[in-house]
Amino acid sequence: MEIESDFLVIGSGIAGLSFALKAARFGRVNLVTKKDNTESNTNYAQGGIAVVVSPEDSFQRHVEDTLEAGAGLCHPDAVEMLVREGPCGVRELMDWGVRFSLRKAGVFDLGREGGHSVKRIVHAADLTGREVERALVAAAKANPNITIFENHQAVDLLTEHHLKDKKQDGIHCWGAYVLDEGREVVFTFKSMVTFLATGGVGQVYLHTTNPGIATGDGIAMAYRAGASVANLEFTQFHPTTLYHPDANSFLISERLRGYGAVLKTKDGRTFMENYHPQGCLAPRDVVARAIDNELKKRGEDYVLLDATHLDKEGLRSHFPTIYQKCLSYNLDVTEEPIPVVPAAHYICGGVVTDLDGRTSIEGLFAGGEVACTGVHGANRLASNSLLEAVVFSDRAVKGTVKYWKEHKGKLPLIPTWSDEGTFDPEEWVLISHDKQEIQRLMWDYVGIVRATHRLKRAQERIQLIAKEVEDFYRKTRVTEGLIELRNITTVALLIIESAMRRKESRGLHYILDYPNTDDKYWKKDTIL
């Protein structure tokens, strides 16, 4: 079956929803999302949104902090745009109904995070993302020009690859094949404009702050379709997630360090002063590597984040979710330090876009974590991600509307999905353990500190798995698990390939064979 619209949006996080709400002013929007409409990385964001709203702050300072964290690879024009358009983006979120925490009427309660030289994080207590999702989903549901398809998973983008008559210049995207998970049928969602907003890749790693949806689908689909992807070696590990067998890498927000919590080794000694002048509030790559180093040096499993010296009532009211979550594991953060470890958190690279969200494929635009706009360089500054999603989705609306007006009515005939000759996935059990194997290989060999021989080992093993998965995919009726496994495999190999190409250490990519930064040869993006 075919379902057509003026704009197709894939993903219902902050990028997809904010794009949809604006595109709906011009035409009909279909938004597909693979779980329920709020399930996204956005929904779990804690710290907040970095934005210049205080008289003590300036655009210049936010730009400088972003460039400094990005270790020489940020694109200055993209950063400038992010920072200058940030306040407008935050105002728009408020117009859609997002309620941020205030110190008093009309004054944001600003927090601070690693790498920021001043307090500039607007937030909704420690549940910023949930508040953003709540408001944007409600606004999208109320908009008659937007139709949301929950439990609909994009399988692949529709491009020349799917046409019988392939006579076209360049590569074009006309929508996506989408699996209706309930009915187990693949539909053809057609549109002259496709906005990819599928988020991150955390599930490629064994330990991650990301929810189950973060399987790199957008990067894998775009790459398969022929789009350029870049800077995938820059996987960001968040320094502080709760160390507890049942906690599933629950994030302990960096804003807690901004509030005064201090990192210590198990024997109660501080250590961050030995690594960076900003101590516990150094950029994230520095803190994660310092923790990794302390753990290896001391043969210990976790470090401590100590907030016990801080005002107890203040802690409870500013961090109610963290407080309650830790309490559910019998840990009162006002009385005891929190055991923490790093976990995979964010991908700085992604599908290459220009400043208006255009990818290298005609008709395919991207925004949010799936995109590589040039803002984050080799290391994202804390709380710049939600900001990037909202600012660059706005830019993309302008780009897409222009493209749509020029090309509407030119959709080609696209064959419907065929699963002829495939069988039901009874043999699923044979490859279901592949996901865990990839996650473990990535964690052990492609983690915070890398080495060429380890990368090669991971690459060889994952290549074998990739072949197995691809064979299985060709023969089997598609399921949600199989689509995700295929994408995880593709993205894992892309991360390794990017990491092997960069023969220096920079930002989040630290490799023992090349421990120094080499600006002469490597101050450039890794484009695949």
Q: Nearest residue by C-beta to ligand SIN? A: 47
Contacted by 69, from ligand FAD, ligand SIN, none: CB < 5 to 8 Å by type: none
Tokens representing residue 50 in the block: 């970095």
Q: Is residue 326 near ligand FAD by the rule CB under 6 A?
A: no
Residue 128 or 505 with smaller CB distance to ligand FAD = 128
List CB contacts of 146: < 8 A, sequence separation 6 or more: 20, 21, 24, 29, 31, 140
Q: Is residue 382 near ligand SIN by the rule CB under 6 A?
A: yes
Q: Which of 383, 439, 489, 526 binds ligand SIN (CB under 6 A)?
A: 383
Query: Binding pattern to ligand SIN, positions 144-183, x when CB under 6 A?
Result: ----------------------------------------
Contacted by 199, from ligand FAD, ligand SIN, none: CB < 5 to 8 Å by type: ligand FAD
Residue 385 or 459 with smaller CB distance to ligand FAD = 385
Q: Is residue 498 near ligand SIN by the rule CB under 6 A?
A: no
The distance of closest approach from Cβ of residue 167 to ligand SIN in the complex, given in angstroms and rounded to an integer, is 45
For 104, phi and psi rounded to 5 degrees?
-155, 175
Cβ(48)–Cβ(383) under 8 Å? yes
Give the span between the Cα atoms of 483 and 217, in whole angstroms. 8
Q: Is residue 210 near ligand SIN by the rule CB under 6 A?
A: no
Chain centroid, CA 293 distance in Å: 25
At how many degrees (to 10) do helices 14-23 and 385-407 cross?
A: 40
DSSP secondary structure of 69-85: HTTT-S-HHHHHHHHHH
Give the span between the Cα atoms of 351 and 527, in whole angstroms. 10
Q: Which of 22, 172, 190, 255 binds ligand SIN (CB under 6 A)?
A: 255
* Residues 178, 181, 184, 187, Cα dihedral to 10°: -20
Tokens representing residue 395 in the block: 């830019």
The distance of closest approach from Cβ of residue 98 to ligand FAD in the complex, given in angstroms and rounded to an integer, is 13
Q: Is residue 192 near ligand FAD by the rule CB under 6 A?
A: no
Q: Is residue 47 near ligand SIN by the rule CB under 6 A?
A: yes
List CB contacts of 17: < 8 A, sequence separation 6 or more: 31, 133, 136, 137, 139, 140
At how many degrees (to 10) do helices 128-141 and 385-407 cross?
A: 20
Q: Is residue 41 near ligand FAD by the rule CB under 6 A?
A: yes
Residue 384 or 400 with smaller CB distance to ligand SIN = 384
Give the span between the Cα atoms of 231 and 347, in whole angstroms. 9
Q: Is residue 199 near ligand FAD by the rule CB under 6 A?
A: yes
Q: Which of 21, 23, 39, 379 binds ligand FAD (CB under 6 A)?
A: 39
**CB-CB neighbours of 360 under 10 Å:** 18
User: Kind and range of the H or E element at 187?
Assistant: strand 185-190
**Candidate list 130, 284, 289, 454, residue with the active-site label:** 284
Q: Which of 66, 153, 191, 505 binds ligand FAD (CB under 6 A)?
A: 153
The distance of closest approach from Cβ of residue 382 to ligand FAD in the complex, given in angstroms and rounded to an integer, is 7
Q: Is residue 42 near ligand SIN by the rule CB under 6 A?
A: no
Enumerate the β-bridge partners of residue 10: 32, 196
List CB contacts of 414: < 8 A, sequence separation 6 or more: 2, 158, 162, 163, 174, 175, 188, 190
Q: Is residue 112 near ligand SIN by the rule CB under 6 A?
A: no
Give the span between the Cα atoms of 91 and 94, in whole angstroms. 5
Query: Binding pattern to ligand FAD, positions 10-29, x when CB under 6 A?
Result: xxxxxxx-------------
Using the structure block, give the residue that is written with the tokens 């990839």: 438
Q: Is residue 65 near ligand SIN by the rule CB under 6 A?
A: no
The distance of closest approach from Cβ of residue 11 to ligand FAD in the complex, given in angstroms and rounded to an integer, is 3
Give the span between the Cα atoms of 286 and 114, in whole angstroms. 10
Contacted by 16, from ligand FAD, ligand SIN, none: CB < 5 to 8 Å by type: ligand FAD
**CB-CB neighbours of 21 under 10 Å:** 23
Residue 376 or 454 with smaller CB distance to ligand FAD = 376
Contacted by 35, from ligand SIN, ligand FAD, none: CB < 5 to 8 Å by type: ligand FAD
Give the span between the Cα atoms of 200 and 350, in whole angstroms. 9
Residue 285 or 504 with smaller CB distance to ligand SIN = 285
- Based on the residue annotation, tell me whether 120 is a catalytic residue of this protein: no
Chain centroid, CA 387 distance in Å: 12
The distance of closest approach from Cβ of residue 32 to ligand FAD in the complex, given in angstroms and rounded to an integer, is 5
At how many degrees (to 10) do helices 76-95 and 128-141 cross?
A: 70
Residue 197 or 340 with smaller CB distance to ligand SIN = 340
Give the span between the Cα atoms of 504 and 511, in whole angstroms. 7
The distance of closest approach from Cβ of residue 284 to ligand SIN in the complex, given in angstroms and rounded to an integer, is 8
The distance of closest approach from Cβ of residue 483 to ligand FAD in the complex, given in angstroms and rounded to an integer, is 7
The distance of closest approach from Cβ of residue 390 to ligand FAD in the complex, given in angstroms and rounded to an integer, is 9
Q: Is residue 385 near ligand SIN by the rule CB under 6 A?
A: yes
Q: Which of 384, 387, 250 is nearest to 321 (CA)?
A: 250
Residues tagged active-site? 284
- Please give the residue ranges that form the binding site for ligand FAD (CB under 6 A): 10-16, 32-35, 39-42, 44-49, 128-129, 153-154, 197-200, 209-210, 213, 217, 251, 346, 368-370, 383-386, 389
- Please give the residue ranges that form the binding site for ligand SIN (CB under 6 A): 46-47, 253-255, 382-383, 385
